[in-house]
Amino acid sequence: MIIIGEKINGSIPRMAKAIAERDAEWVKEIAKKEADAGADFIDVCASLNEGELEAMKWLIDCVQEVTDVPIAVDSPSVHSCVEAMKFCNKPGLFNSVSGEGDKLDVGFKAISGTKWEVVALLCDDTGIPKTAADRLKVFDKVMAKAKEYDIAPNRIHIDPLIEMLCTADDGEGISMVIEVMTKIKEQYPTIHITGAVSNISFNLPKRKLVNQAFTVLAMNAGLDSAVFDPLNTDLQGMIFATEAMLGLDDLCCEYMSAYREGRFGEVK
């Protein structure tokens, strides 16, 4: 599982305060904790309308002072992501492009010929498609553009867009997003499937339990990358357990190592 640590995000009130006050110690502490907890990328999102790039540079500098874990440059603006790439010491994750406007061209052009990876959301100018077939049409568009810019599938993390469970009706549950994941993975076995798993539990009580159950079901359908809090050690334990059950960890060696390293099971 590729873990994209979600905690350096200006939409989280405590982090917004740290960004506003340029409280470098807070940011560094969170970055260090995410790195120690096994994050593969540390997502950096300023979540600001004004001064976004300056804040991103400051955040990225903070993170890079305490860890070598690559950065996920995260902004709703593809142009901000392109600029933020320049602040990074090493290739990271471009978060994100989508079928909207010229985002695919701008983002893929920026990472073409580099080692950067990229998150592609399956939405377009019509919004978030309601059916699996329509999301897969956006996917086809993403892959056609990726080919044009010579971006190999294993550098692409497809986010099929996880929506809240509490409004699912007519026996649908999560079947649509699971179908999208399954079909994508069948077509491109080396592609990554990612998502913000906590979206699933919006408006429900005991969100962690819902997030955990969803993560297990999504992994079964091909999810191998996810945006979440790596300090949620129960979720990490369940991810290692699920990998063993899906046949990706013979004799539970990885599960046991992760446990011994304190990745889950013990408060560090």
Task: State the residues that interact with a second copy by CB under 8 A.
Answer: 165-175, 200, 204-206, 209-210, 212-214, 216-217, 220, 234, 237-238, 241-242, 244-252, 255-256, 259, 264-265
Whose Cβ is closer to a second copy: residue 148's or residue 234's?
Answer: 234
**Shortest Cβ distance from residue 218 to a second copy (Å)?**
9
Order of all β-strands in the sheet with 71-74: 192-193, 156-159, 117-124, 93-99, 71-74, 41-45, 2-9, 225-228
Written as one string, the DSSP assignment of 85-105 is: HTT-SS--EEEEEEESTTHHH
CB-CB neighbours of 225 under 10 Å: 21
Q: Which is nearer to a second copy, 98 or 242 (CB)?
A: 242
d(CA 75, CA 46): 8
Minimum distance from residue 210 beta carbon to a second copy (Å): 4
Minimum gap (Å) between residue 163 Cβ and a second copy? 12
Least Å from the CB of residue 133 to a second copy: 18
Nearer to a second copy, 84 or 176 (CB): 176
Tokens 């049409």 label which residue?
137
Distances (CA, A) of 27 to 59, 75, 94, 174, 232: 7, 18, 20, 35, 18
**Which residues face 121 on adjacent strands?**
98, 159
Closer to a second copy by CB, 152 or 256: give it: 256
* Token pair in block for residue 84: 């933020």
Q: Is 156 or 219 the residue whose CB approaches a second copy more closely?
A: 219
Closest separation in Å from C-beta 171 to a second copy: 4
